[in-house]
A and B are shown apart, each in its own frame.
Chain A
Amino acid sequence: MAKRIDVSGLSAYYGSHKAIDDISMTVEPRSVTAFIGPSGCGKSTFLRTLNRMHEVTPGGRVEGKVMLDDENLYGSSVDPVTVRRTVGMVFQRPNPFPTMSIFDNVAAGLRLNGSYKKNELAGVVERSLRGANLWDEVKDRLNKPGSGLSGGQQQRLCIARAIAVEPDVLLMDEPCSALDPISTLAIEDLISELKERFTIVIVTHNMQQAARVSDRTAFFNLAAVGQPGKLIEIDETDRIFSNPSVQATEDYISGRFG
């Protein structure tokens, strides 16, 4: 079930290096929010704080609050493993489990949870693969390894794997940057379908992509290399691309820097 994300006063560190500073924003359920900004401004870092993946990096540390509906993900009694089961993630480079078959890749999350009935598994796998617009391409080779698919298919397999466990939120970190234009379009179409069911946050380098798929866009920037990244503004995507309220956003979007 899609949930609202409410971030307040969030900073993240790598050891003593502060990568993002004091970020607050709200992400509405069943919407697509795009993160844009120059390289190194902390988009990935921020995204990874939303499912507590940041802290698996050695030295990774977070201050602040992330509310998922009314639960603080960084509450003292919250287990990060549980958080990651409800906030799914798709990475920049497709990373299916290379030794597993296509079927087992999609089933992996369910099997971890242990909360499925044996006779439902095949149904969930099919539904997830259909949900990722991959079913027709792989239905005849479900027991072949996932690493044998093309890059775009692998990425959709990863999306199927992520949505199979019915997460509340789906995070995507530049999911198309390693893909060809046709696969990119396939994934963009998919994102528009998935937002009916999930809260989606997507980092993208591609401004047209942000304009095409997202409802709201957040622009991040950093004052100088080595300085922490900051959220400059977040607004309706139409507004950000037509009439942003901050000059730096307009400069970035019109290609004057970055």
Chain B
Amino acid sequence: MASTTPADTPPAPPVPGPGSRSTGRLGDKVFLGLSKGSGILLLVIMASIAVFLSYRSVIALSDNEGNFLTTFEWNTAGDPPVFGIAVLLFGTVVSSIVAMVIAVPIAVGIALFISHYAPRRVAAPLAYVVDLLAAVPSIIYGIWGALVLVPYLEGLNSWLDEFFGWTYVFEKTEIGIPRSLFTVGILLAIMILPIVTSVSREVFLQVPRMNEEAALALGATRWEVIRLSVLPFGRSGIISASMLGLGRALGETMAVATVLSPNFLVSLHLLNPGGGTFAQNIAAKFGEANEFGRDALIASGLVLFVLTLLVNGAARLIIARRKEYSGANA
């Protein structure tokens, strides 16, 4: 290391041997110390957060009378306390799935339009607007969702109920404002659309010219070029983009809390009001909870954390498995 970096401080010896590496290399030493130090500091902070959260969780869990994973109840003030994450896990996963199912295809479509269909003078402003949407704070989406989206969705819900009620999922058995997991899913879809679009668009723009020309020269139409060259090249990028969006959807707090009317029931009737998510439940209960209640909420937060880690790990696995086909060596 020391002998390969060019000496930029004047008094450095011509060929610094291993023993003399410190002379005249104060900058190197300081930088090494700083980067080593901050690396260690980061690890220490992460570890202490993990230890702290686990410690508090264990306190709460050891007094829990219910089964933490299967109980449909959140009563931390009772004697004995009974609480479980079943409803939260269900609500979080279901609303995120709804969001992904809606958002990813639309985002990929918009990204393809911007990168491959729109004329340049349309594409640039459109890309800019999409990027701008990503910067809107989530509480704004929440307010908009509650004031505009929810009333608007009543019509859509009746329509879904009428024509797809037989699927059970879209059967609406309770009348009332649709402050449901389905509505939350739609709102989350709108919220993650910009980030999924931006990242996908960036990837689509990086498709090597020669990959696209390979398809063109075979007589591919524009859509066939996309199918043969752009989408295969962009696949891992779409997965990464979706995971970014999913991460946001899983952890979204304010928008969900503003739109959902929570309860502690699990129902596959997605149009009915009710349900809850990890983040929404923490936001709603943290303020007024006693210390034990907070510990219980921390335990649920840990589960959300693990869930996010699992999702990311799965995404990495998928991407790694496709590496052989990625074209890196083409």
| Contact B329 A84, beta carbon cutoff 8 Å | no
A residues 109-150 near B (Cβ < 8 Å) are: 109, 112-113, 145-148
Report how far A94 CA is from B217 CA in the complex, Å: 13
| Contact A91 B232, beta carbon cutoff 8 Å | no
- Please give the distance in Å from B54's CB to the nearest CB on chain A: 42
Interchain CB contact (< 8 A) of A97 among B219, B229, B235, B329: B229
B14 near A: Cβ within 8 Å? no
B residues 292-330 near A (Cβ < 8 Å) are: 322, 324-327, 329-330
Interface residues on B, range: 20 to 34
B228 near A: Cβ within 8 Å? yes
| Contact A53 B228, beta carbon cutoff 8 Å | no
Check A91/B216 contact, CB under 8 A, given A98-B232, A98-B330, A112-B224: no
Query: Which one of B3-11, B125-133, B141-149, B206-214 contacts A?
Result: B206-214
Interchain CB contact (< 8 A) of A91 among B213, B220, B325, B326: B213
Check A148/B214 contact, CB under 8 A, given A81-B220, A99-B232, A113-B219: no
B218 near A: Cβ within 8 Å? yes
Residue of A nearest to B324 (CB): A145
Please indicate the chain B residues that have their CB under 8 angstroms from the CB of A89 in the complex: 217
| Contact A148 B213, beta carbon cutoff 8 Å | no
Please indicate the chain A residues that have their CB under 8 angstroms from the CB of B324 in the complex: 145, 148
A223 near B: Cβ within 8 Å? no
Please indicate the chain B residues that have their CB under 8 angstroms from the CB of A56 in the complex: 213, 216
A95 near B: Cβ within 8 Å? yes
Report how far A94 CA is from B210 CA in the complex, Å: 9
Most buried by B among A53, A99, A113, A165: A99
Residue of A nearest to B212 (CB): A56
- Please give the distance in Å from A113's CB to the nearest CB on chain B: 7
Residue of A nearest to B325 (CB): A99
Report how far A81 CA is from B222 CA in the complex, Å: 9
Residue of A nearest to B225 (CB): A56
| Contact B219 A91, beta carbon cutoff 8 Å | no
| Contact A84 B217, beta carbon cutoff 8 Å | yes
A residues 79-113 near B (Cβ < 8 Å) are: 81-86, 88-89, 91, 93-100, 108-109, 112-113
Please indicate the chain A residues that have their CB under 8 angstroms from the CB of B229 in the complex: 97
B170 near A: Cβ within 8 Å? no
B residues 232-257 near A (Cβ < 8 Å) are: 232-233, 235
A161 near B: Cβ within 8 Å? yes
Residue of B nearest to A58 (CB): B120
B38 near A: Cβ within 8 Å? no
| Contact B217 A97, beta carbon cutoff 8 Å | no
| Contact B210 A97, beta carbon cutoff 8 Å | no
Interchain CB contact (< 8 A) of B218 among A93, A148, A161: A161
| Contact B327 A53, beta carbon cutoff 8 Å | no
| Contact A99 B217, beta carbon cutoff 8 Å | no
A residues 181-217 near B (Cβ < 8 Å) are: none
Please indicate the chain A residues that have their CB under 8 angstroms from the CB of B322 in the complex: 99
A51 near B: Cβ within 8 Å? yes
- Please give the distance in Å from A206's CB to the nearest CB on chain B: 21
Please indicate the chain B residues that have their CB under 8 angstroms from the CB of A109 in the complex: 218-219
Report how far A158 CA is from B235 CA in the complex, Å: 23
Please indicate the chain A residues that have their CB under 8 angstroms from the CB of B210 in the complex: 91, 93, 95
| Contact A84 B219, beta carbon cutoff 8 Å | yes
| Contact B213 A95, beta carbon cutoff 8 Å | yes
| Contact B233 A99, beta carbon cutoff 8 Å | yes
| Contact B329 A147, beta carbon cutoff 8 Å | yes
B221 near A: Cβ within 8 Å? yes
Check A95/B221 contact, CB under 8 A, given A145-B324, A148-B329: no
Report how far A165 CA is from B213 CA in the complex, Å: 17
- Please give the distance in Å from A3's CB to the nearest CB on chain B: 16
Report how far A148 CA is from B211 CA in the complex, Å: 16
Most buried by B among A88, A98, A109, A146: A98
| Contact B216 A84, beta carbon cutoff 8 Å | yes
| Contact A99 B327, beta carbon cutoff 8 Å | yes
Interchain CB contact (< 8 A) of A88 among B215, B217, B221, B235: B217
Please indicate the chain B residues that have their CB under 8 angstroms from the CB of A85 in the complex: 218-219
| Contact A96 B218, beta carbon cutoff 8 Å | no
| Contact A98 B218, beta carbon cutoff 8 Å | no
Report how far A112 CA is from B327 CA in the complex, Å: 21
Please indicate the chain A residues that have their CB under 8 angstroms from the CB of B218 in the complex: 84-85, 88, 108-109, 112, 161-162, 165
Can you list 21 residue pairs at the A/B interface with Cβ under 8 Å?
A53-B213, A53-B216, A56-B216, A81-B219, A82-B219, A83-B219, A84-B220, A91-B213, A91-B217, A95-B211, A96-B330, A97-B215, A99-B322, A108-B215, A109-B218, A112-B219, A112-B224, A112-B228, A147-B329, A162-B218, A165-B218
Supplied contacts A99-B325, A108-B218, 9 more A-B pairs, CB within 8 Å:
A81-B219, A84-B216, A85-B218, A98-B327, A99-B232, A99-B327, A100-B325, A147-B325, A162-B217
Question: Taking beta carbons and an 8 Å cutoff, which residues of B are in contact with A?
Answer: 210-211, 213-221, 224, 228-229, 232-233, 235, 322, 324-327, 329-330
* A-B pairs with lowest CB-CB distance, top 5: A98-B327, A85-B219, A99-B232, A89-B217, A84-B219
